Amino acid sequence: MPSAPPVAAPPRAARAAVGTWFFVNAVLFTNVLPRLPEIKGALDLSNAALGTALAAAPVGALLAALWSPPLIRRLGSGRVAAYGLVVLAGVISAVALAPSWLALAGVLLLAGAIDALVDVAQNAHGLRVQRRYDRSIFNAFHGLWSIGAVSGALIGSAAAGLAVPLPVHLGAVGASFAVVALVAARAMLPGADADDRAADEETTTGAAGAPLSRAALLLAALGLLAAAGVFVEDAGASWSAIYLREDLGAGAAVAGLGLVALQTTMTVGRLTGDRVVDRFGQRAVTRVGGVLIAAGMGLALAFPSVPGTLAGFAVAGLGAATVVPAAYAAADRLPGLPPGAGLSLINWLLRVGLLASPPLVGVIADAAGLRVGLLTVVAAGLVTVAVSGVLTGRAVRGAAAG
């Protein structure tokens, strides 16, 4: 890997670099998803075996996420993000070469671990860049991740439709986007992450101005907030199609639109959310977002119909758009923590929530029906409203919670 220090770059170039990393990170993972049926068939896996192998990725992420701070202190968030994406590209390419279930699970375990390190690092560097601005820019990075997720799925679907051999497909995509990540790295901010934190900590004591002695409680609250945000996302990904198809009788094509509705409004909300945050403050934006989540899904479940449910997922997606970025930004601004520490802890708690979400909804659905199980989304909205008080009440210079 290149070891030369990054060239000095204006914030605009560094901002483009971070946006590129978010995009590449999403493309690499979702690029594989349309080819899972082929992988399942080639390895002669049952549904349970494939599901267990896929679960290795979040397990790997949980094992690795808390290693981000020492890596960031040693190498810098920019290098961890850029070089981590190169490694991730190679690991994802190796999925095509896995000869057995055990090998596939091992590759996915490693992919999840690298992804967790990259996720913390790219968020940390994005917040470094935001400190150079007089306004919030952080939500847009997560919006680019959403665009990358859709782009990766389209690339994978096209490759599957054209019957491109899996090793060629994943190898070409991995090599191409590894180069993109490295080229973007030339525009990363120079210097250590700790260099630009001292001045910021002099003007802010973290979310809601709390002292260091309350950092643990604040991190727990922010972790709960982040988990609530991903709970909404996972409901759209894991359960929307099943609910629309089996409970409401929607056709196969229409059933897939629940996730599309949620992801579309979430992407729009993230791409436009920075201006709203600057005007009204992260606390108010997140609180209103929680109301939208609870009201949108609550009304859709109270008066079940296909159009109403699609609208409910769309409103919930808009409400959840800035929740996870807000938790990340607030955790990064907590005083007294080393670079990346707050982010890594929130990332770990977020992934716990993501791992727990599907079985929780599934257990409730088996006992009382999926309509009742989806009330957990309403609960996530109410949690968002309740916990939003730990966020800043107005946009602040340099670290407007994105």
pLDDT one-digit tens code per residue, 22-65: 999 999 988 888 888 888 889 998 877 887 888 888 899 999 98
- Predicted TM-score (pTM) of this structure: 0.82
Dump pLDDT digits (tens) for 175-211: 999 999 999 999 998 887 776 665 555 444 444 444 5
Model pLDDT, residue 393: 65
Q: With the CA atoms of 71, 76, 82 and 84 taken in that order, what torsion angle do they form, in degrees rounded to the nearest 10?
A: 0
Please give the pLDDT value at position 170.
95
CATH architecture of 11-196: Up-down Bundle (1.20)
**Identity of residue 226:** A
- CA pseudo-torsion sign 364, 366, 372, 376: positive
Q: At 204, phi and psi to the nearest 5?
A: -145, 140
d(CA 180, CA 201): 33
369 conformational bin, left if phi > 0, alpha if psi -120 to 50, beta if neither: left
Distance CA 42, CA 167 (A): 13
Query: How far apart are alpha carbons 340 and 124 in whole angstroms?
Result: 6
- Digitized pLDDT (tens) for each residue of the chain, 402 residues in all: 444 445 444 588 999 999 999 999 999 988 888 888 888 889 998 877 887 888 888 899 999 988 888 999 899 999 999 999 999 999 999 999 999 999 999 999 999 999 999 999 999 999 999 888 878 899 999 999 989 988 888 898 888 889 899 999 999 999 999 999 999 999 998 887 776 665 555 444 444 444 555 777 888 899 999 999 998 988 887 788 888 888 998 887 788 788 888 888 999 999 999 999 989 999 999 999 999 999 999 999 999 999 999 999 999 999 999 999 999 989 888 877 777 788 888 988 888 887 888 888 888 888 899 899 999 999 999 999 999 998 876 644 433 333
* pLDDT, position 104: 94
The position carrying tokens 């968002």 is 384
SS3 sequence, the chain?
Answer: CCCCCCCCCCHHHHHHHHHHHHHHHHHHHHCCHHHHHHHHHHCCCCHHHHHHHHHHHHHHHHHHHHHHHHHHHHHCHHHHHHHHHHHHHHHHHHHHHCCCHHHHHHHHHHHHHHHHHHHHHHHHHHHHHHHCCCCCCHHHHHHHHHHHHHHHHHHHHHHHHCCCCHHHHHHHHHHHHHHHHHHHHCCCCCCCHHHHCHHHHHHCCCHHHCCHHHHHHHHHHHHHHHHHHHHHHHHHHHCHHHHHHHHCCCCHHHHCHHHHHHHHHHHHHHHHHHHHHHHHCHHHHHHHHHHHHHHHHHHHHHCCCHHHHHHHHHHHHHHHCCHHHHHHHHHHCCCCCCCCHHHHHHHHHHHHHHHHHHHHHHHHHHHHCHHHHCHHHHHHHHHHHHHHHHCCCCCCCCCCCC
CATH architecture of 209-390: Up-down Bundle (1.20)
Give the Cα-Cα-Cα angle 18, 19, 23 (nearest 5 degrees): 115
Tokens found for residue 88: 């991730």
Distances (CA, A) of 36 to 32, 51, 54, 165, 304: 7, 11, 10, 13, 32
Q: Residue 207: left (phi > 0), alpha (psi -120 to 50), or beta?
A: beta
Which one-letter amino acid corresponds to residue 326? A
Query: Which residues lie below 8 Å from residue 161, measured CB to CB, with a gap of 6+?
Result: none
Q: How many CB atoms lie within 10 A of CB 331?
A: 30
CATH topology of 11-196 equal to that of 209-390?
yes
Residue 204 to residues 124, 334, 354: CA-CA distances in angstroms? 17, 8, 30
List the chain domain ranges: 11-196, 209-390
